[in-house]
Chain A
Amino acid sequence: MLERFNIVNRLSGDADLILTTVDEAVNLARANSLWYLLMGLACCSIELMQTGGPRADLDRFGSLFRATPRQSDLMIVAGTITLKMAPRLRRLYDQMAEPKYVIAMGSCANCGGPFDRSYSVLRGVDKIIPVDVYLPGCPPRPEALTEALMKVQEKIKKERYFLKKEA
């Protein structure tokens, strides 16, 4: 891997060291292995599947789905959250290990979307879990979801993970 990107060769002549901080090295690893929870709530999940497919190919960002919240770093809330589903969604979020991130994908997850005045729909997933990236669209295109994932990566790379104070 390192040879392929010519890092070792480039450095081997005149230096034996790469200087960086632990935070930066770990953040690079974390940002490029964002595993997301295999979870779809409504039609946005179809776009989520497309994004994971070969054309948009989320794999190239080191991102792939896990079918359990315990192995997931990222929750993509793809679709309408009904009030019946909301406690279950919260439970899935609670089962994910820290550090964890959330993308609210599509209008429904942002604010209730077209079902805003409905008796049965949660008006925005931020009522029950903290959200890192709000992604508008109904539904958002796979390119947009890729962009949202890159925003999460940017956020992770800026974090000072090891110096983070426990809440």
Chain B
Amino acid sequence: MPMDRAELISMLSSRLGSALLSAEEMKNDDILLVVDRQQLVAAAGMLKNDPALSFTTLMNHLGADYGDRLAVIYNLYSPLLRNKITIKVYLDRGDPSVPSLERAFPGIGWYERETYDLLGIRFTGHSNLKRLLLPDDWEGHPLRKDYVYPASYHGIDTSRPDLLDDARAPGGRDV
């Protein structure tokens, strides 16, 4: 049955206890839960398996770089409550690791690999944590804010002069 959001937030707060760092309503009919990194696995397992909650559907998983810190985000849906929640775990830039949720949601494997590939967030306990999209010998994680584009890859030059730069320069030629 659908539930009032304020009611759901208080219910989640009481069940999650110390794992929950903050909970608030989002503008898009969603509830944002910031969860403690150490207790993420237990929290996700509880959200999924608690018969009154049944957040059994992992809608999405993503990572984010906010500049000063990183985050992993999970969108869960409960067919029982007809409600979705967003779980967010903030991570330190120096040690971006978070426990894998593979046990609770086996389908998350490739999502976590993609997040690792592009943001360099390590998922401890993941069964096969290697790059998903980029080549294995790629250096760095391109969606990090501080990523420096490589000048070449396997001897292939990755630069290309911009014709508009010529036009913008003083006395530049028409293009």
Contacts and interface: CB of A to CB of B under 8 A. Distances in A.
Interface of A: 83-84, 86-87, 111-112, 116, 119-120, 122-124, 127-128
Given A119-B147, A120-B142, A87 B154 contact: yes
Contacts of A87: 154, 156
Interface on chain A toward B: helix, strand, loop, or mixed SS?
loop
B149 A86 contact: no
Contacts of B158: 83, 122-123
B14 interface: no
Contacts of B134: 84, 120
Contact of B135 (A83, A111, A124): A83
B157 interface: yes
B96 to A, nearest CB: 19
21 contacts: A83-B135, A83-B153, A83-B154, A83-B156, A84-B135, A86-B153, A86-B154, A86-B156, A87-B154, A87-B156, A112-B160, A116-B160, A119-B147, A119-B149, A120-B134, A120-B142, A122-B156, A123-B159, A127-B156, A127-B157, A128-B156
Contacts of B159: 123
Contacts of A83: 135, 153-154, 156, 158
Nearest to A121: B158
A127 B135 CA distance: 19
Contacts of B147: 119
Contacts of A123: 158-160
A119 B142 contact: yes
B8 to A, nearest CB: 40
Interface string B36-71: 000000000000000000000000000000000000
Which residue among B135, B156, B157 has the maximum number of chain A CB atoms within 10 Å of its CB? B156
